[in-house]
Chain A
């Protein structure tokens, strides 16, 4: 039978703050176990949480970027459960009154635009990490470096109808949080993680089917595979006349299957209640406005603006705006050298080739926007040809030398544009190739290229090609 697939996603983003959400400890990843800890984040008796305002800024940013309402007074709540990585025996999160509600995100699948609702965004603390030493049985260790690291959880409406839509939503969401600078978006390392709620229902059925929750999908590819696996699992159950049971399942990346983690009976009663150690988070209009002002232009809007302002193809603009730093670089170059198409071509062809080879980000690029603009300037005013430009570019990149003019001068790469000088060379070539001149003049027009090539060879590629063309035309017709 054919069913409608209903998917909602819960996405956790680890925020890029310098310090933790409720204490001053560093969030730096990779320090020795329990180095980034204090009485607050290890849950020592009597220690109290104090909210990091930067976390609120970041949550508001994410909310504004997804068209959410910002709650004027949101409340932290305790989510109570026992686990060794949870030092206080409760996680400080938000429950009844989250910081952002009622937003949406637009996606596009197969040229179809679709709006996905965002139910809420709330702030919370991460838990620590259990370490199970490989060769010692019966012993586990706890590393609280990650405890109290800030997270936002972005909960979507059950608006997605296919794994493709889910992945498109997830990608769009990741682009946004990365663009906003609130999260590094790294799925493999778990700083951007996703749980999926999936259910099936007969077409046209008004109520939702029973859902299963999927966890542990650490890449877009795995989200897609896991959802498809789950849809098939549920379809099989329903086709056989069975009932889907509400449960939480864990995706096994290696085996490509999901397995039961816990059933409904084992579901926790988290006993949420407002955390009496923290005051309501009061966000006034001025605060929201301040964050709004600091909001960067988001990828979709920026792409549209770049197409409109600079008249470059949409495909180029998409490539350039996929990464916020790259788009910044492009705009910086254009500001210095106002020929957008040339700038776009050089960035997409030359610059990206070098960066990809070295696997580095544009922020680490040895050529500055000023350096590239100067190079484009030298090509634009015919000081050098495009071909020589590529040589200069390569030198600039490898030597981190941002003075193309000096390189051109030192290496004598400037284009020959002196008409008298070029005329002498053209005459020499014509004189030395009497027979070919005759052939050309008798109709072998293809030989024109040969004459140009000879001049270029003689001038080591530095002759101004337009001038060579016109001089030859003038002399041999």
Chain B
């Protein structure tokens, strides 16, 4: 087996034993990138030179017997909204086509300090707005399982890279499902930690009260290892929470006997694909055989989540994206006539359609006379949705549900119908509104060979439980470790 096909966990163990070097692993990954990324198009920027230097440094670190971490010497890719010194950070937008940050995001600093190898920056929907990565200003990333289909989004580059083994693991960000949905489409593990678990410092904001960085990996154990490296308090992010970071990895094997699993009935409603439903129901039964108990539960305000989310997220985005005005950095429209015209033209030309749509929606929701009806009301409903979860979690430890009502859809299928695109986030959005941790784990394939994801949701800061349930499930799943063949033609 090629080194690029190994999990982070296996490579870590081999690196620690000196059976392989980081340089070998890194070279293997870049051979893979050269081989398949022309088809998958997960990367926006590839940094082979930098990565090889980091790999050598990691090998040197091990040779000298210096402290290492599970990611020391491991080739990892980053979603292109994580600020990186030396690498462009475009956010998939024309607006930041040539923007090179002068500082590293907190998670990037942690990875660098841990000696990780950074392969490059990964494609995404512009400013993380989208569910298919079709909203990137640069390229369409393909689903490695079916090149005619989208990888999901907005972290489509991060999940497609892991699925096509062009990175051992990656980081994505999840505002309304942007890690979990593409993870389910690409058949990889994608996790959104509790809001506040991972510092957002240097993560280019879409919706600040919802954004959270998380790992995308090929196994649950890898997610546990990577989360440990990036999680923890950061003084530079006021919303980061000062709680100790448990050793997620060592606790994975603790059994799940007696664990109470809730199955929210609202997540199995109309519009749920039959194959998706049966795969998820089967997964529930498997968890029960491992000793967990299953209970039907209800989250009555689920129906309001999409509307709530699209008011709050767009309101925050309209303000967060105001800084892209052509004054300080990034794109500036040429031939503007005066200041106001420079603003207008810069933003008209620099932003794509979906970003402009959301900025306008959010601006409207915050406008004088509409604030109470939209923004304030949405905040109130957000509280109700959070309360739904509080009440349900009084009686169970985790919830299981589908990630997305359907498997990966085809290019162009939803891009002209924003509402149907928004509705594809219906099962992931409530988790962001409530700030909870959740994970997508592969739970089977459709007859057409498209991956299906199982969503597990836990209480705030119960990532340990979340990962443990996911790990036990993964062990029972026959398809774990299956890789796409990538032999179709790219569209």
Contacts and interface: CB of A to CB of B under 8 A. Distances in A.
Contacts of A51: 238
Given A44-B103, A46-B203, A271-B367, A89 B322 contact: yes
Contacts of A279: 238-239
24 contacts: A39-B103, A43-B323, A43-B328, A44-B102, A45-B323, A46-B200, A46-B202, A46-B203, A50-B238, A80-B318, A80-B322, A82-B343, A84-B325, A84-B339, A87-B327, A87-B328, A88-B323, A269-B368, A271-B371, A273-B371, A276-B208, A276-B239, A277-B205, A277-B239
A80 B343 contact: no
A260 interface: no
Given A45-B96, A89-B319, A142-B327, 10 more contacts: A45-B89, A45-B204, A78-B319, A82-B322, A89-B321, A90-B319, A271-B319, A276-B208, A279-B238, A279-B239
B319 A273 contact: yes
B315 interface: yes
Nearest to B342: A84
Interface in A455-472: none
A49 B205 CA distance: 13
A278 interface: yes
Interface in A50-92: 50-51, 78, 80, 82, 84, 87-90
A49 B238 contact: yes
- Contact residues of A: prevailing secondary structure: loop
A84 B238 contact: no
Contacts of A88: 322-323
A267 to B, nearest CB: 10
B390 interface: no
A48 interface: yes
Contacts of B209: 276
A47 interface: yes
Contacts of A48: 200-201, 236-238
For the residues of B in contact with A, the DSSP-based class is loop
A240 to B, nearest CB: 32
Contact of A50 (B91, B205, B236, B319): B236
A279 B240 CA distance: 10
Contacts of A80: 318-319, 322, 366
A47 B202 contact: yes
Contacts of A277: 205, 208, 238-239
A132 to B, nearest CB: 12
A415 interface: no
Nearest to B207: A276
Nearest to B89: A45
Contacts of B204: 45-46
Given A48-B201, A269-B368, A271-B363, A84 B83 contact: no
A474 to B, nearest CB: 83
A274 to B, nearest CB: 8
B467 to A, nearest CB: 27
Contacts of B315: 273
B200 A273 contact: no
A42 interface: yes
B316 interface: yes
A364 B429 CA distance: 63
A142 B205 CA distance: 24
A142 B368 CA distance: 30
The 4 lowest CB-CB distance pairs between A and B, nearest first, are: A89-B322, A276-B209, A271-B366, A276-B208
Contacts of B328: 42-43, 87, 142
A273 B101 contact: no
Contacts of A276: 207-209, 239, 316
Nearest to A85: B327
A49 B89 CA distance: 20
Interface in B334-388: 339, 343, 363, 366-368, 371, 375
A373 B363 CA distance: 67
B238 A44 contact: no
A452 B81 CA distance: 93
Contacts of B339: 84
Contacts of A39: 101-103
B458 to A, nearest CB: 23
A240 B205 CA distance: 55
Interface in A269-303: 269, 271-273, 276-279
Interface in B184-212: 200-205, 207-209
B274 to A, nearest CB: 39
Contacts of B368: 269, 271
A272 B371 CA distance: 9
A342 to B, nearest CB: 55
A273 B323 contact: no
A269 B202 contact: no
